[in-house]
Every structure is written in C-alpha cells, then in structure tokens.
Structure 1
Amino acid sequence: MLMLSPLLAALGGAAIIIGLRLTVLPLLDPSRWYWRALLLGLAAILSWRYVVWRFTETLVPLDWTADALVSWGFATLETGTVLSSSIAFMILSRVKERTAEADQHAGWWLPGEAPGVDIFITTYNEPLEILERTIVCVKALRFPKLRAFVLDDGRRDWLRQACERHSVGYIVRSDNAHAKAGNINHALVKRARDPDRPDFIAILDADFVPHFDFIDRTVALFHDQSVGLVQTPQHFFNPDPIQHNLGISAGYPDEQRHFFDNVEPARDAWGIAICCGTSSVMRVRAIQQIGLLPTQSVTEDFLLTLKLAENGWQTVYLNEPLTEGLAPEGLKEYIVQRGRWCLGLMQIARNCYNPFGSHRLGLMHRISVVDSVLYWLTTFPFPLASLIFPLLYWWLGITIMNASLVDITRYYVPYYVMVLVALNWLSKGLFIPIVNDTSQLIAAWPICRAAALGLLTRGPHRFSVTAKGGDRTRVVVQWSLMRPFLILFGLTLGGLIVPLNADFVFNTSSTAGDGVAIVLFWTVYNLLVLLVAIAACIERPRYNRPQRQVLEPITLTIGGDRHRGWLVNLGPEGARISGPFGLSVGATGNLTIVRCQMI
C-alpha cells in the first residue's frame, strides 16, 4: 500500500482533469473564445511542462552512443509535435461562424442585376455514373444568372455527348498542362472572352453534388468587396476507407470532419481560412488580378489562398453543408490523396512562400504555413517512431528515457489527458486515440516520403489523381500496405516474449529506471494500434455506391398521393427509401429530396 501511494498521488492531476470534463465542461459553451483559450492554454502549459521535464531529467547524457542518439532523437520529435500542437491550439482558441452574415446579405445586389455565376465541374477520368449525378443536381440549382460547364481533361467524346444531352457547356483543351489548375485557367480565359462572362465561378469536383442553395449562400458573402474566395465544407456520401473497413462509420466521423468542422472556422476567425479546391466560389476579378490560379504546387488551392492574401484578397469560410461528394473508396486512393496534399504544401513552403522569406504575406499567414509544415513533419513521423523505438529497447537494450513510473504518471499522463479532453470538448468527441493513431499510421510512410521529396527537391514532381469509381463489390486485402504492419506486429509481440526470457538480452534492471513497466505499456498499446491497422487493410465490399451515412426525409409523389419517408441510400443504380407502403410494382412518380429533385 505504501508503494502505491506515490503513484496514486501522481494520478491526482489526471483525475482532476477528467472530473472537470465530466462535471464542468458540459456546462460551458465551446464557441466562447475565453473558454477555448483557457482550456487550450492549460493543454499547452502541461505540454511544455512535459517537454521541460523530458530534457532536464529523462535523457541519456549526450554523446555519440546509440542510447544518446535514440533518447535525444525521440525527445526532439516529441518537442516538434508539442510545438505543432501549440500553434494549432492558438489557432483553435477562436472560432467564427458566418451563417448570420449570409442570412443578412442574401441578395445584396440591386434588383435585376444579379451577378453572373459559372459552375465549373472539373473531371479527368471519372465515369459517367459519377459525373451525371453532379450534372443533374447542378441543373437543379436556381440562380438568376447561372451557367454550368464540364471541364473535361480526358477529352472524351461520350462526355461531350452527355453534356449536349443535359444542355450544359463542355470545355476541353489540347493538353493537360498543370492538371486541375491548368484546366480551370483554360476555362477562365475562354469564358472571359464571351459576352456573358461570369463575375464568380464555383468549383466542383466531378463527384461533388451541390445542395439547392449552394450558390445563394456562398455568393451572399461576396457583399464584402475584399472577399476573393468563399470556401464551404466538404461532406461525403460514403464513409472513408478506414471508417468502412473497420465498420465504424455509424459511430465515428470521416477523417476530414475535424478540419472542416473545427479547424477551418478557427482559421477564419484569424483571417487565414484556406481554399480546399472543390466546393469553393471565387471572384473572377480577384483571380484575374493575381494572374489566374497559381500552378507551382500540386495543391493549387492552398497556394491560391496565399496568393490572394498577398494581393489583399480575403478567403472566408461558410460552415454550412452545401455540397456532398465521394470520399476515396480504397485505402490506396486515400493514401495517395494525402501524400499529394503533403507534397504540395512542402512545394509551397520551399519554392513559393517560405514562411521566413521576403514576400508580402502577413504574420498570421506565415504562421499558417508554419503550422501546416509542422503538421506534416511531426504528426505522421511520430507514430512510426513510436512503433520502432520500443523495439530498440526490447531487442537491442537501447534506453529511450531514464524515468520512474511515478514521474511518467506525474508529467506525461496529465499532459496527454488534458490534450485529449480539450480536443474532444471542442470537437464534440471526434478524437478516439487508437482510431486516430491508426489513420495517421496507415499513411505515415508515404507522407514522410512526400515531405522529404517536397522539401529537399525542387521538382517538378509527378502525382496521381485520386481514382473514383471501379469495382468495389469484392473483399480485397491490401497486402502491400498490410505487410509492414504484420512485420512490426511480429517484432513487437516478439519483443514481449523473447527478450524477457533470453540470456543474450540486456539487463532490464539497469539504467532505465522503471523502463520495463513503461515500455511494456507502450508496447501493448502499439500492438492494439497495429491490430487495428491490419484490420483496416482488409477492404470490405461496397454496394450501391455511394452509401449515405445520414437518413434524410423524402416525399414520394405517385398519382397525386404523397408518401413521406426516409432516404436510406442513393447510388447510380437508384435510391432506396424507407417508410412508404401500399405501392404497386411498376408505378412511377417523383422522389423529392431536400437537396434536389430527381424524377
């Protein structure tokens, strides 16, 4: 009992934090900046308290030894993650919502002088079943001066014919220079020569469907003549691969929800909201002033935000679900997409807008670039290091830290619990440790490679477009992705079994303090993460793509009779609804959905 008392005392800080989470935080309003700043400030203080303790009391003496290199290397990586999270905490301390502003300034133009809006649907290799859904819902939009164009970088005759059939514009170019940005620039130049040239352009990827009020709501924010771009969140019909493969889509949101629901509103409050490509609307005059969309990065959207800011234009964020699209359906496509985002950001920081360079970006936009670089450089290498470093302890006897279990409980546990509590409170429960770690681990190595490529080489760099569509009706085991996790799982499990029972292994009672107990807990956690990562590499079938995750009210009208019900899922083969009864086989009618009307 006497031995447990110091440990129980050390747990007091974490217990207080958990108690506050259960009793006090539910009573506070997360939209109030002072509560956000207080909570995130405490998380930052405990984070840096932990870092100071790590460097002053836990490291192996600095020397050219394996122990010193590993010990100092891991502590340095931890410090990078704390620095990254501290900047993120500062940004998250404020939030801005523009719904009331959009309400107030709806129809800000003079009667009969509505601005002209073009919708550009960008496509490269998507099939008709995906494109046609987008085209149909774009045609259902109602705005006084609205034209829709399909920008086909695949130069497909069948798509030209489909556009003629649906009476929408079709624009094609002779090459694919600068990919999506080049495709949009070509269409902008072409439309600028037409008599009905637009004042604004809305960008939709081929798989994104607009809600009926997408244009009305976004154009309302252009009442401010300094606004060059309005970004809206990206919501998805279907679960992302990790949600789907683990069978958690009903209880766990897609990986991008934290960014669109929490990070972008916070960035908007600081004036550093970023363009995310699709689901955005741009002022043509602003784009023409900066020389069209920049093409120096494979993530032209973030670069566009910085270019606009440098020339005095704002990017603002309207946090309303105004479009829905198709998340990457396969694990490889999911990883490719994130690798491209990382590569593009590194290109921006290296070649275009070095945050410490001599350009005209303001302080907050420079901090924005630093925040993004640190995110990619720390968030994804860290889970790899967390898997590998315990193996060095088990198999080679390399000491990672000299610390007692009591001190770990006193310094690390409150820091970890406070960060988790703060982020879960702000995001309404989006952070689940093992699932978050799994999503980072699965993409970790490709992202580390992309980060190194983007930072260390000037380019140009090749990239792959995220594939959509294809046969998803079979179980597919992604062996190439799973194999490293299987190897690490075997080594980690062996680390628990072999070293503690072998004569050749180091003396575990030596210089590592309570090292065995600490690394034992760490190792067990790693085994859980690896098991989940292995399970995520088994791609489950997807039927009637895309599957809707949220039921929506519908009205089915047949022969004058109106039947109310719910939309269960919606795909290219048709819709599945629940509720209406007494219908005859072969009866025809109208199915009305809140988002748009389909016949």
Structure 2
Amino acid sequence: MVVQTTVRRETTRRENHRRRRSSSRRQGVVRLIVVLAAIAGINYVAWRWLFSVNWDAWWIAVPLVLAETYSLIDSLLFGLGAWRLRERHDAPPLRHDVTVDVLVTTYNEPLDLVMKTARAAQAITYPHETWILDDGDRPELRALAEAEGIGVISRSDAWRDRPRHAKAGNLNNALMVTEGEFLLILDADQVPDPRILDRTLGWFEDEKVALVQTPQWFVNVPPSDPLGSQAPLFYGPIQQSKDGWNAAFFCGSNAILRREALMQLGVSRYVGEVTVAVNRAVRSSRRILARARRDYRHDPRILSALDEVSAALDDVKAELAHGEGLSDITFRFQRRIDAVRAMMAGQDIQSVRAELAELAELTLDAATLAAIDDITLESLHDRSLSPLAAVESISMLVDAFEVGREGEAQAIMPLATISVTEDMATSMRLHGLGWRSVYHDEVLAKGLAPDDLPTMLTQRLRWAQGTMQVMFRENPLVQPGLSLGQRLMYFSTMWSYLSGFAAIVYVAAPVLNLSFGTMPVIAFSFDFFIRFIPFFVLNQLLFLVVANGRPTWRGAQYSLALFPVWIRSVTSAFDNVYRGRTLAFSVTPKTRTLEDRPRWDLVRPQLFVMAAMILSLIVVAIRYAAGQAEGIAPLVNIAWVLYDLAVFSIIIRAVLYAASPHPELKEN
C-alpha cells in the first residue's frame, strides 16, 4: 500500500510538471502573438484615422473608423487578459475541517427539478448542511424537502412591502440565518458532482481567497450548440485570463464563497454608503440653513437656533474626519436637533398660551380655556415639526441623518443589489477590499441551458443588463481598491456589451457600398491591405491559440447576431440608472414553453439586416452588368457581406431549433 501511494504521488508530480512546462510554452506563444497583434492593430487604426477616412462620406466613414477603434480596444483588452492566462490544476489539500452551507436558490422552478438538485447537493461527500432558498415560499416544496431532511429558508416578514432584490435578496436573507464558514451557491437546475467541495475547498487554504468559481456546463445542449449556450471560451480562457490578474468573477452559480469576506463586504458597504449619505446630507443642510437664515434674518431667536444647528453640523464633519462611529455621530446630532426643536416649540407654546389668556379674558370662560390648553397645547408638544418654516427645515435635517435603512428589510446586504444580476458587482467589491478569487476549470456541476430562442434571449438580455447597470453605477475604472489589471479585466467584460453599436456599422458599410457605391475608405489600396490583413489574421490566430482547441465560432456568431439584445441592454440599463425607469427582473425559465410556430418576430431586426445584405448582392450584380461597379472595392464588400451572412445564419437555426427531451434530467 505504501509503495502504491508513493508511485501515485510520483506520477502526479510528473504529470503536474509536464502540465506546467506545456503551459509555459503556450504562454510564451500567446504573449508573442499578443505583442504582434497589438502592433498591427495600432498601426492599422492609426493609419485609418490619419490617411484613409473618406470625409466626403463622413456620415458612414466616421462611424466605421470609430467601430474599428472599438474593435481595437476590445482586442487589446483581450490580449492583456491572455498575457497572464492562468491554468490551475488540482487544489492544494485542505489541512483542517471547515463548515459549509450548500444553498440551492429557487423561485418558481418545477418541484422535481429543484428536488433533484437538492438531493444531489445533500449527497455531496464533504460534510455540510443543505438548504433550499425558496423565494416563492411554496408549502409543497417545504414539505418535500423537510421529509428528506433538507432545510428550507424563505423570506422573513421583514421583507414584506420592502425591496426584494431578486436572487441577491434571497441570498442576503439566507446569510443571516445560516452559519457555515463557506457557502456553495447553486441555481435550481445545477446538479452538483459529489466531489465539488473536495475538489475546491483546498483553494481556501489561502486565507485571502474569498471566491472559487467553477464552470457552468449544460447537459441539454447538442454538439452543434445552436443557441450558443456552452460558452467554452468564457468558461475557460477568458476566466483563466482574468484569474491571472486576480479578477476571475462570480457567475451566480457553481461557486464557493467565504462567509467572512461577504460579511466584511456587507458591513463595509453599509458604513461606506451611510458615510456618503451623511456627507451629502451635511452639504444639503448647509444650503437649507443658508436659505433659512435669509428668510428669518430679522428674527434673532431663530437665528440663534440656526447657529446651534450649524455648530452641530461642524461637529459632525469633525467627528467623521476622526473616524468616530457613525451611529454615535448621528445619535448625538439628532439629539441636538431635538433639543433645538424642543426649545423653539417651547417658546412657541408660551407665546400661544399668552394669546389664549388674552382671548379668554375677552370671550371665553375658564372651562373652555382649560380644554384648549389641555388638547391644543399637548398636541403642539407632540408634533415632530414646528409651525415655523425654519424648524420645518431642521426636521428635514433629522430625517436626512437617519442611518437605520428603514426602507430595507436588513441593513447589511453582502450580495450586491445594484443590478438585476448580483454576481459581478459582488466579486468586484470583494476584490476592492483586497480579497482574492480563483477560477477552478473543472466541470463540477451540470445544469440546464435555455432550449428555445425566447428563453435564450431572456437570459442574455438579463446578463447584459446586469453588467451594464454595474458599469453605469460602479465603473471599475474609478473604483477604489482595485489594481489596474483588475480595473481593466472588469471593464473588458462591460466593454464587450457595447459591440451592438459597432455591429450596426459593420453591417451597414458594405451594404451601402454594394448598393450605392458609397466608399467609407478612400481606397482599398495596397496600403490598406498591408495593414488590415496582419491585424485581422493575428487576431484570429490569437483567439485560436488562446482557445486551445475549444470551439469559438458559435460565440463569434452570437456576439454579432445578437446586436439588438446588446443595444437594448445598454439603453435600458442607462434609462434605469440615470432616468429611474424600472428594469424588470425575469428568472430564466427551466422548462420549455412549446410554441405552435417559430418565433420569427423575436429576430425581426436580424431578418431585415439579412434581407438588406442579400438585396445588396443583387444590386451590385446589376451594377456590374451596367458597368457601374468596378475595381476591387465591390469584391471586398461582397466577401464582407458573405461573411456577415454566414454569421447571421445562426439566427435561422436558433428560430427553428427545437430541443429534444433529455431523460437524464428527469427524476427516476
């Protein structure tokens, strides 16, 4: 037995050494291509701006060169990530026991699907507690789960009539009623491998690791992957590239998180947000006081009260600067405001008493006066607002310094609630606090991908909207605590969703040239091709080498063909963040809704684009026959249109795709 163990260890050591050497050689090749692609790209785009823009057709020439500039930045960000592409292998051994809660999140998924995942979670070999987080609070699910010894957590009454924050709120609620040192988060359809914790917990031997993310892999996707669900490039080289910069991020499921890190994040965010709110309130209060001083500049009594409020604000600023506790600062401030209000109300009451006494001498008997005194004056004491406008302003200050978050179900919200997806913002904030993340590239849970076009579009839109909300609210380029590499890695993901606008230009330019002879480039000369071809070829080569055998074509198709989704995600997120418009949250359906007909209406913009491209080919053929088309420019644009048609052809397949049933997903 000892000999066998020694042999196995030696074999493992040699295999790991071989892997490291292979990774090192591949990394060298990747870095060489990154440098060459960057040089070629910068050379091409600089030349385009300086020498080849056709200003006579500026309305399409400038958008085209802007789109090419966008693509260059996208390429540079991809290359920067690939520069540190990190291929991890086995996690180090776990040297001490830890406690783990496995959390299965659900809202309205079928009971058998949720229970299948929960049973698999319960069967995980490492000791743990299994919980179903039922956001639908279904009695039938609770009965099924508890009959098998599986815990169920639903929202408390504290969430009633308050923002629910979708999945983030569900997880935040569970964090307050569970105790495990680590949390494995699973979506309702992600069936875990029994070894998932054994294979990943060792990474947490590094006490600064807060997150270990594993891939999402789907069992109901055919080899052709017509809906582009598997994302082999993202759940592989892209996450590995981000991992090299300590920027691998949380993807919502199949991830293990350290509770300590989440709770630190929740507390620090609470303190930071309240501090910002208090500072904002102090600034607003100065303006309120200045206005009150102008309105009551002839009333020494009110001016004296406002001086007291101003002194209280000065003390708040000083105490904040010295780092004193927020609750103590705000409590003392509120008490001082209460004292000012009581003093002024008392003075007002004495004045009213004197007026009532004069009135009683003229018209009222003693009994009537006593009734007025007992009722009216008592109510004046109980009022939170003084009848004086200045004290109304003071009362507003009291409200502004409320730090209890009465509008929320709980003050501490570790999982980010700033977007319709909780994952990216949470991991970015963790990185900002100095925590580390790990991407463990091993499939340890298998789930269900959308199996029709409507469901796929719902999912992609939600992902994109959530990402853009984070960009608009917490742009990583200006977030404190992140390294430069982390800023750029997060930004690269957000930047990619702007591709919809570039896609419109890339489609329009060749169509306009073939149909009307419009030239956005001065000439497709030798100078053009000697710069463009190296840029294009080196970028394609970089993708192939980084992918290391993983298919990339389907992802390339959808990055262009879903341009309406990407544009809608940007505009709707912008409206939500900056204009306050509602952005509805939709849970991705886990069961197919059968349609009587293909949903061509969902891809109407793409169909119009494809029709325009086909029509442009017909028009250019007529122009050739009439002698109106000549030179190399039409040939270049014909090739361009044919390539775009090949890309957009995936939309036809997606509309016609009908997933077949998968028996392995059903309960035995």
Same fold by TM (over 0.5)? yes
Q: Which residue of 2 aligns with 1:96?
A: 86
Match of 1:285 among 227, 243, 260: 260
Could you tell me which amino acid in structure 2 is paired with residue 443 of structure 1?
L
Q: Which has the higher strand share?
A: 1
3-state SS, counterpart of residue 95 of structure 2: coil
Find the partner of 1:294 among 388, 406, 416: 416
For 2:22 and 2:635, the matched residues in 1 are separated by: 38
Tell me, yes or no, if structure 1 residue 46 matches structure 2 residue 40: yes
Tell me, in whole angstroms, the C-alpha distance in 2 between the residues paired with 1:93 and 1:108: 32
State yes or no: 1:341 paired with 2:463: yes
Q: Is the 1:403–1:514 contact (alpha carbons within 8 Å) kept by the matching residues of 2? A: no
CA distance in 1, matches of 2:527, 2:651: 31
Are 1:526 and 2:644 an aligned pair?
Answer: yes
**Does structure 1 conserve the Cα–Cα contact (< 8 Å) formed by 2:221 and 2:230?**
no
**Change in CA separation of 1:505 and 1:310 when aligned onto 2, cut-off 3 Å:** farther
SS state of the match for residue 129, structure 2?
strand
Which amino acid in structure 1 is aligned with residue 611 of structure 2? G
By relative contact order (CA 8 Å, sep 6+), the higher-ranking structure is 2
The answer on whether the counterparts of 1:87 and 1:371 sit within 8 Å (CA) in structure 2 is yes
1:133-212 maps to which residues of 2 (within 5 A)? Answer: 133-144=116-127, 146-173=128-155, 177-191=164-178, 197-212=179-194
Greater mean deviation of Cα atoms: 116-125 or 402-411: 402-411
Report the CA distance between 1:35 and its aligned residue: 2.2
How far the C-alpha of 1:210 sits from its partner, in A, is 1.0
Residue 281 (structure 1) shift? 0.8
The structure-2 alpha-carbon separation of the partners of 1:529 and 1:183, relative to structure 1 and needing over 3 Å to count, comes to same
Q: What's the secondary structure of 1:402's corresponding residue? A: coil
1:371 is aligned with what amino acid? S
Q: Say which structure is richer in helix.
A: 2
How far residue 152 of structure 1 moved from its aligned partner, in angstroms, is 0.6
Q: Which moved more, 1:46-55 or 1:292-301?
A: 46-55
Q: Structure 1 518/217 Cα, relative in aligned 2: closer, same or farther at 3 Å?
A: same
Higher alpha-carbon deviation: 124-133 or 386-395: 386-395
Q: 1:527 to 1:228 in 2, by over 3 A?
A: closer
What is the aligned counterpart of 1:394 among 492, 511, 514? Answer: 514
Paired residue for 2:442? 320
Q: 2:113 aligned with 1:130, yes or no?
A: yes
Q: Would the aligned equivalents of 2:75 and 2:539 in 1 still touch at CA under 8 Å?
A: no
Contact conserved, 2:468 with 2:494, CA < 8 A, in 1?
Answer: yes
SS across alignment from 2:649: helix
Aligned amino acid, residue 531 of structure 1: S
Equivalent pair of 1:396/1:505 in contact (CA under 8 Å): no
Q: CA RMSD in A?
A: 2.7
**C-alpha distance 258-432 of structure 1, shift in aligned 2 (>3 A):** closer
Distance 2:44 2:549 in 1: 24
Greater Cα offset, 275-284 or 442-451: 442-451
Conservation of the 8 A alpha-carbon contact between 2:620 and 2:634 = no
Give the TM-score normalised by structure 1: 0.77
Which sections of structure 1, spanning at least 5 residues, go unmatched?
1-26, 192-196, 247-252, 546-569, 575-599
Give the greater-gyration-radius structure (CA): 2
| Matched-pair contact (CA < 8 Å) for 1:31–1:95 | no
| Cα distance change on mapping 1:506 and 1:448 into 2, 3 Å | farther
- Stretches of structure 2 that go unaligned for 5 or more consecutive residues are 1-20, 267-413
Give matches, 1:513-592, under 5 Å.
514-544=632-662, 570-572=664-666, 574=668
In 1, Cα distance between equivalents of 2:110 and 2:627: 59
Among 514, 523, 527, the residue aligned to 1:403: 523
Asked if 1:79 corresponds to 2:69, the answer is yes
Change (3 A) 1:496 1:443: closer
SS of structure 2 residue aligned to 1:298: coil
Distance 2:584 2:641 in 1: 38
* Distance (Å, rounded) in 1 between the aligned partners of 2:457 and 2:415: 25
Deviation at 1:505, TM superposition (A): 9.8
Give the fraction of aligned pairs with identical amino acids, expressed as a percent.
29
- For 1:374 and 1:507, the matched residues in 2 are separated by 40
What displacement does 1:245 show?
4.0
| Residue-pair matches, total | 493
Change in Cα spacing, 1:93 to 1:336, as seen in structure 2 (3 Å) is same
Residues 36, 94 of structure 1: 8 Å contact kept: no
Q: Secondary structure at the match of 2:137?
A: coil
Q: TM-score, normalised by structure 2?
A: 0.69
On the 8 A contact 2:232/2:552 being kept in 1, the answer is: no
Amino acid corresponding to residue 62 of structure 2 in structure 1: W
